[in-house]
Amino acid sequence: MANPVYDCAIAGAGASGLFAAARILAARPSMRVVIIDPNSRCGKKLMLTGAGRCNFTNSNLDLASYNTDDPAKLAHMLSQFGASDTIDFFENVLGVLTVNKGELYYPATLRAGTVVDALRYFLEEHGCEMLFETKADKILPDNGIYKVITGDGREISASNVVIATGGITYPKTGSTGDVKHLTEGFIDNRDLTDFKCSLVLLIPDDPSLKSLAGVRIPATVSLGTEDRKKVACGELQITKDGGLSGICIFDLSGEIVRLVDAGRTPVIHVNFCNAEPGECCLMAAVRAKMFPERSISAALSGMVQRTVLEYVLKKIGYKCNLPAKDIFYNDLCRIADALTAFPFTITGYGKPADAQVSQGGVNLSALDGHLQIPPHPGIYVIGEAVNVDGICGGYNLQWAWTSAALCADGIIGDIRS
Ligand SMILES: Cc1cc2nc3c(=O)[nH]c(=O)nc-3n(C[C@H](O)[C@H](O)[C@H](O)COP(=O)(O)OP(=O)(O)OC[C@H]3O[C@@H](n4cnc5c(N)ncnc54)[C@H](O)[C@@H]3O)c2cc1C
């Protein structure tokens, strides 16, 4: 019997590939769709998202939260399929009840497995074929359709091929940057931005930070000068090797990685008090007066974690056991300045294995409004394989859903203007 010609072959059973298949089959149940993935099950990375809870979107999809080569096109795409469309699809097509914590949305079960299961059940019920432990190795044009050649030499013919192979981070989940070779012959090298890490830990030029390993502290971190300053808030974590991690670090890491790769040594300023310097100085003065007999680090320990306070005091040349009563107001202001804008020079960053997202991939500007490669109708690139990445908070998965939905709409012929 001759091999079937699928309506759509999707390389990648991650967030974007699964969603594209579900969107196609929800609208056109008669379409023949096959998904190919080297893993033995679908949604391996999706299972890890949101610390296992899957923060799947954000109701405030501001463009400033994304990095891409084509912000105007991204804004248009997010306006066509945004957070409310995702929630609607989750609730009314996949049957996943959702909850929100402020702007952040999760499945009501707070389990990423619920989302993976819902997609899998839906695809199985709609006859989607899944070829696991199989890699897409090459895509070749073949008389108006395409042939996907798999790693084990099989040929899969399809009218449309969707490349949903992700980026380069967490390679143990299967994403190893394959979009580069899969688009060979379809995309000019100039339309590919090299993959780099984002949402990744940063390595400061201070080995002594190891002494704070395990510390978790709410902080505000800034990069750049007043006229062009980026600020991020959230938990800051010190890793066992003295790296800086946590949401506030991740959210600035994309830009810092680009600067470090360009040979620069960016400096970030950490505000450990989440207060203005003047306010912090006043709080310190009040405590020094309340507890004059205590050491300065004990007197101020109700304001900032003591280990962090002692690290900062030592770095700016104060003895931690100095009695609070012997500290002048000017010294308290100096301490407050350091606690509210402590500088760290960044010299490196973590490995792809530890980064949550990739920046780079096929430039958005090289794709049409359905994520199709214009000179090659029927070839689509979606998800993290495209040069779009976001900060923490559901932005990356939203891009996976948006790009998948618009691609699916292109395939089912629901071309929007
Ligand atoms: C620990 C962690 C937590 C995260 N938490 C969140 C969160 O809470 N919210 C959020 O918005 N984002 C989060 N992200 C980011 C989010 O998971 C990704 O942006 C998203 O999964 C990208 O979807 P994708 O489909 O493009 O790629 P992936 O999910 O990486 O899927 C790509 C798939 O393609 C397959 N593949 C690779 N090469 C081939 C090939 N040659 N042939 C066939 N198949 C191939 C892979 O096996 C994989 O299954 C997190 C990421 C990590 C690592």
DSSP 84-98: HHHHHHHHHTS---E
Q: Within 10 Å of residue 351's Cβ, how many Cβ atoms?
A: 11
Mean pLDDT of 376-403: 98
pTM, two decimals, is: 0.95
pLDDT at 77 over 80: yes
Assigned domain for 416 exists: no
Assigned domain for 417 exists: no
54 and 156 assigned to the same domain: yes
> Coil, strand, or helix at residue 197?
strand
Tell me how far apart the alpha carbons of residues 406 and 414 are, in angstroms, rounded to a whole number: 9
Query: Beta 129-131 vs 33-36: how paired, if at all?
Result: parallel
178 and 214 assigned to the same domain: no
Give the Å distance between the CA of 166 and the centre of ligand 1.
5
128 and 14 assigned to the same domain: yes
Nearest CA to ligand 1 atom 50: 49
Which among 101, 179, 396 is the best mutation to test ligand 1's pocket, defined by most ligand atoms within 8 Å of the CB?
A: 396
Atom of ligand 1 nearest to the CA of 51: 3
Tell me how far apart the alpha carbons of residues 166 and 396 are, in angstroms, rounded to a whole number: 11
31 and 173 assigned to the same domain: yes
Which among 8, 45, 154 is the best mutation to test ligand 1's pocket, defined by most ligand atoms within 8 Å of the CB?
A: 45
306 and 344 assigned to the same domain: yes
Assigned domain for 101 exists: yes
Assigned domain for 157 exists: yes
187 and 45 assigned to the same domain: yes
Contact call for residues 119 and 94 (beta carbons, < 8 A): yes
pLDDT of residue 1: 60
Q: Which of 305, 325, 349 is the last residue of a domain?
A: 349
180 and 45 assigned to the same domain: yes
Confidence of residue 3 (pLDDT cuts 50, 70, 90): confident
pLDDT of residue 416: 35
- Describe the crossing of helices 395-411 and 83-92 by its angle, rounded to 10 degrees: 70
168 and 211 assigned to the same domain: no
Assigned domain for 327 exists: yes
Give the Å distance between the CA of 294 and the centre of ligand 1.
52
Give the Å distance between the CA of 17 and the centre of ligand 1.
10
Q: Which domain holds residue 86?
A: 5-197+352-411
Amino acid letter, residue 107 = P
pLDDT of residue 288: 96
Assigned domain for 58 exists: yes
Tell me how far apart the alpha carbons of residues 411 and 161 are, in angstroms, rounded to a whole number: 10
What digits encode the pLDDT tens for the residues 130-189? 999 999 999 999 999 999 999 999 999 999 999 999 999 999 999 999 999 999 999 999
DSSP 387-409: SEEE-TTTHHHHHHHHHHHHHHH
Q: b/e per residue, 100-116, with b = 16+ CB within 10 A?
A: beeebbbbebebbbbbb
CATH number of the domain encompassing residue 240: 1.10.8.100
16 and 36 assigned to the same domain: yes
258 and 115 assigned to the same domain: no
Assigned domain for 280 exists: yes
- Describe the crossing of helices 329-340 and 277-290 by its angle, rounded to 10 degrees: 130
Q: Which of 301, 318, 349 is the last residue of a domain?
A: 349
What lines the ligand 1 site, CB under 6 Å?
A: 11-17, 36-39, 44-46, 48-50, 54-55, 135-136, 164-166, 169-170, 173-176, 178, 356-357, 383-385, 394-397, 400
pLDDT of residue 226: 67
CATH number of the domain encompassing residue 162: 3.50.50.60
What digits encode the pLDDT tens for the residues 89-144? 999 999 999 999 999 999 999 999 999 999 999 999 999 999 999 999 999 999 99
Q: Which has the closest alpha carbon to 315: 281, 344, 293?
A: 344
Which among 152, 356, 371, 403 is the best mutation to test ligand 1's pocket, defined by most ligand atoms within 8 Å of the CB?
A: 356
Give the Å distance between the CA of 306 and the centre of ligand 1.
39
386 and 334 assigned to the same domain: no
Q: How many domains does the chain have?
A: 2
Tell me how far apart the alpha carbons of residues 230 and 184 are, in angstroms, rounded to a whole number: 37
Q: Which of 349, 371, 400 is the last residue of a domain?
A: 349
What digits encode the pLDDT tens for the residues 281-325? 999 999 999 999 999 999 999 999 999 999 999 999 999 999 999
Assigned domain for 57 exists: yes
256 and 379 assigned to the same domain: no
